[in-house]
Amino acid sequence: MPRTRGAATGTSTGTPDAGVGSAGVALLRAGTLGAIGVGGVGVLVSTLWGVHAAAGFAAGALLATAALAVGPLLLHATRTASPPAVTVLAGGGYAGVVVLLGLVFLALEPVTWLSASHVAAALVAVTIAGLAGQIRAVTRLRVLVFGSAQDNRDEVRDGRGDGDAAQSCQQAGR
């Protein structure tokens, strides 16, 4: 079996699905770092409104960060599954997140010491930051869909390629 390079980590592995697994880890890392950064700053700023506001922002940031982690975790967990299985697990995972968030909101509704407006502000700000981190990571990932990196390099070097090889493969063949 040919060795492939991991998409996000740059490490070699013997499995052809390493790029997809690494992609999930890279998305999780990038989204979580952005979410934690904005969450921390938001909690600090919210202390200007008091402890209840800071606690509300922290609770909202935690909820948003956890919800954002589901997609990359599912990508990593289903890296070897068939497309129908991935579709079912993704739909179930996101439905589970919606139900779980609904239950958490019902549980937090009677809590008077949390500032609802700061929870809402955290949900919006942290979600945007987490998604921005994931979008940034996606633009930097290199996950081969067909074949291996070595196959693409061989085609480019031998002149058999149709010009559709990834740019990194074209440069490697020079």
Q: What are phi and psi of 102, to 5 degrees?
A: -60, -45
β-strand pairing of 4-5 with 12-13: antiparallel
Contact 57, 28 (CB under 8 A): no
Nearest to 75 by CA among 55, 93, 100, 96: 93
Angle at 115 between CA 111 and CA 118, to 5 degrees: 135
Per-residue confidence in pLDDT tens, the chain, 174 aa: 444 444 444 443 444 445 555 777 888 888 899 999 999 999 999 999 999 999 999 999 999 999 988 888 888 888 888 888 888 988 998 898 889 888 888 888 888 888 888 998 999 999 999 989 988 888 887 766 655 656 556 655 666 555 555 555 445 554
Q: How many CB atoms lie within 10 A of CB 35?
A: 29
The model's pTM is: 0.66
pLDDT value for 147: 58
Cα–Cα distance, 154 to 130 (Å, whole number)? 38
Cα–Cα distance, 54 to 114 (Å, whole number)? 8
Structure tokens at 97: 């997140």
Residues near 33 by beta carbon (within 8 Å), at least 6 away in sequence: 133
Nearest to 89 by CA among 78, 105, 99: 78
